Chains A and B, each alone.
Chain A
Amino acid sequence: MSSVSTLSGTAEQERKVPVIKLGTFLLMLPLLLWLFLLIILPHVDLLMVSLREKLGYREYAFSFQNYIEFFTEPLYWNTFVRTAVMSIIATVITLVVGFPISYYIAKVLKGKKRSLLFMMCLIPFWVSELVRTFGWMILLRESGVISSFLQWAGVVDGPVEMLYNDASLMVGLVYTSMLFMVVPLVSVLDTLDDSLIEAGYDLGGNTFNILREIVIPHAMPGIASGCIVVFMLTLGNYLTPTLLGGKDGLWFTEQIYNQFITRFNWESGSAFGFLLLILSSAIVFVGLKLSRQTLADTVK
């Protein structure tokens, strides 16, 4: 019986070879369409728009003017560097805060408690980012919860404004990114065999050098992929810097928005968009080189 079905199976398979290929293609189609229509096509257009200069009504010429403008205007420059540095700091803080949480979830807790804590990390993300950010504003503003509490407790005399500075911006960015750090870290720490940690202790190691020589090297792919995702999200974040950073919280995405929407300067906006893409790719590349990881490792 089984041999008969195997035989007919192989015969069918041979006949179906082109059909399977078409099936694979159809399955891939949404992904291919998404990549082409939403990623490649807009970026090609962006590049072309960024490399032209408006001479008059519907009159354009090829030019590097938009890029030159970026490098000659200090405000653009400073915002660009500031965004990169702040994003790196936010990524590092997210990693430092997220690693112990992930370790606790993956290695210390078992069963129900573990799922509960994991869910607690996840649940804030059921709410939209806008509402979450407003949550922080309710806490931190002059007439907000923390300010009122401090006045009630007698610690301060008048209302305190905690919003619209770099610290509140950083809090918002780290909070927004936490889940994207915790998820890859938990999954990579899950694969670390407990007996490796025990062996480390057994051979005379202490908590610090077990962490440094066994846990972190093992978790490196997860750390790298978590950092890449968090860095990209932070760099490209628009909502949090606008709402929590206030007028001084210059973020490069705001500059891009201004060029496109406020100034109707699509050429300059495209150039800025392209520069942001180059910047993020360059920093991720350097980060991977420094941590001796490959991009392929991080998606394993």
Chain B
Amino acid sequence: MSTQLDLECRQVVKSFGKFTAVDNVSLEIPQGSFFSILGPSGCGKTTLLRMLAGFIEPTTGDIRIKDKSMLGVPPNKRPANMVFQHLALFPMMNVAENIAYGLKRRKIGQAEIDRKVADVLERVSLPDAGEKRIEQLSGGQRQRIAIARSLVLEPALLLLDEPLGALDLKLREHMKVELKQLQHEVGTTFVYITHDQSEALVMSDNVAVMNEGRFEQVGTPQDLYYNPSTAFVAGFVGDANRWEGRIESLEGGQAMVALEEGGVIATSFAPGTSFSAGETVDLFVRPEAIVIERSKAAQEKARLSGGKNTLSGVVQNLLFDGANSRALVRDQATGHEVMVSLPQTGAFSDLKSGEALVLSWDVEKTRAFKATKAASQGIAA
């Protein structure tokens, strides 16, 4: 084995009575990577993390940290430390005492403890915070102290349980970048669980998308975004327009799909999937994959060019959000609403409700999956 595995889960199952919270999860995390587990609330990700920390024992399966089985090892003996959702800083101690808590349990000399505490405070850029009370710190500072308290123990694994959830938006964006940089500097393996896809995509080397206790797909953020392998992943990671339809004809790697509301869309298939005519499928198109045009000439051109789906519609609503602006366009033929991204060049900054637009997108940008209930859940979440 060329790279050492910091964490390995082998067919881990956890059931509570009849309910299976974690269902046959296997994963391998190489040393020094940032691994996220992304899923809607109730998907079992917290149960999985608590099993890694040692608060819950798996029903079956094995958890190995640094190639040592952790079954039966209590949380205070595991080389894994956790940053809790609400941080769980000890309010009865000051910042330095909080950080020193774990070190004191290891019977390290006071001088050594002081040096390590000062080091780690420096590392999280709060060198003078040692004497402060916890309630004197801001949200972002508490965040950093909670991470420092775990990092000072030099664990093999740092487990993070949605620690950014309680922060306001601006600070959360800032902490995302900071957390990724910190992980890069210290080189500790981070296991991060979240329901926020943006957090997972921005920070992680690898992301596992979890749903109903199972891993739907494990891959790099780019992989998950551009090549989702299940309908759930396509719906949950990033935004997507979703249609349901039935395959009318198949030809090469492409198919014509008749939508329930009427209209036909050409679609491609993900590699390794096979469909037959007459099957019901879910179609996904990302809002930014759709090109919008409004001049007469462009409309003509779009209609004529081959290999594209085209629709003409009327702008229903403008959702202005700076560089992330969108428009909700109602398809004239079918009445279906389509979400499209406005180009960041500002070419459509004067777009108004009620304007007619022509939408077009490449056939390859349409993804088809066998229709499942999970897909609609993904969208709803």
Q: Interface on A for B, CB 8 Å cutoff?
A: 193, 195-196, 198-206, 209, 213-214, 217-218
Interface centre among A195, A201, A202, A217 (most CB of B within 10 A): A202
A202 lies within 8 A of B101 (CB)? no
A199 lies within 8 A of B84 (CB)? yes
Mask of B195-229 contacts with A, CB within 8 angstroms, 1/0: 00000000000000000000000000000000000
**Interface assignment of B74: CB less than 8 Å from any CB of chain A:** yes
A202 lies within 8 A of B53 (CB)? yes
A199 to B80, CA, bound (A): 12
A-B contact pairs, 27 of them (CB 8 A): A195-B84, A195-B86, A195-B88, A198-B75, A198-B82, A198-B84, A199-B82, A199-B84, A199-B88, A199-B90, A200-B101, A201-B55, A201-B74, A202-B75, A202-B76, A202-B81, A203-B101, A203-B102, A203-B105, A203-B150, A204-B77, A204-B106, A205-B105, A209-B105, A213-B93, A218-B91, A218-B92
B85 lies within 8 A of A195 (CB)? yes
B92 lies within 8 A of A214 (CB)? yes
A218 to B77, CA, bound (A): 25
A195-B84, A195-B86 known; A201 and B92 CB under 8 Å?
no
A200 CB, nearest partner CB in chain B, Å = 7
A214 to B93, CA, bound (A): 9
A291 CB, nearest partner CB in chain B, Å = 13
Residues in B whose Cβ lies below 8 Å from that of A202: 53-54, 75-76, 81-82
Residues in B whose Cβ lies below 8 Å from that of A203: 76, 81, 101-102, 105, 149-150, 153
A271 to B282, CA, bound (A): 91
B92 lies within 8 A of A205 (CB)? no
A168 CB, nearest partner CB in chain B, Å = 39
B86 lies within 8 A of A201 (CB)? no
B88 lies within 8 A of A196 (CB)? yes
A287 to B75, CA, bound (A): 37
Taking CB as reference atom, which chain B residue is nearest A209?
A: B105
Other than the given A198-B82, A203-B102, A204-B76, 7 more pairs (CB < 8 A) read A196-B88, A202-B75, A203-B149, A206-B105, A213-B101, A214-B90, A214-B92
A205 lies within 8 A of B76 (CB)? yes
A110 CB, nearest partner CB in chain B, Å = 14
Instruction: Give the secondary structure class of B's interface.
Output: loop
A195 CB, nearest partner CB in chain B, Å = 4
A205 to B74, CA, bound (A): 11
Residues in B whose Cβ lies below 8 Å from that of A218: 91-92
Interface centre among A196, A203, A209, A217 (most CB of B within 10 A): A203
Taking CB as reference atom, which chain B residue is nearest A206?
A: B76
A211 CB, nearest partner CB in chain B, Å = 13
Residues in B whose Cβ lies below 8 Å from that of A204: 76-77, 102, 105-106, 153
A34 to B138, CA, bound (A): 46
Contacting A at CB under 8 A, from B114-152, are 149-150
Residues in B whose Cβ lies below 8 Å from that of A209: 105
A67 to B85, CA, bound (A): 62
A193 lies within 8 A of B88 (CB)? yes
Taking CB as reference atom, which chain A residue is nearest B86?
A: A195
B77 CB, nearest partner CB in chain A, Å = 8
B75 lies within 8 A of A201 (CB)? yes
Mask of B67-81 contacts with A, CB within 8 angstroms, 1/0: 000000011110001
Residues in B whose Cβ lies below 8 Å from that of A205: 76, 101-102, 105
Residues in A whose Cβ lies below 8 Å from that of B153: 203-204
Taking CB as reference atom, which chain B residue is nearest A216?
A: B92
A193 to B88, CA, bound (A): 8
Taking CB as reference atom, which chain B residue is nearest A207?
A: B76
Residues in A whose Cβ lies below 8 Å from that of B93: 213
Residues in A whose Cβ lies below 8 Å from that of B85: 195
Residues in A whose Cβ lies below 8 Å from that of B86: 193, 195
Residues in B whose Cβ lies below 8 Å from that of A206: 76, 105
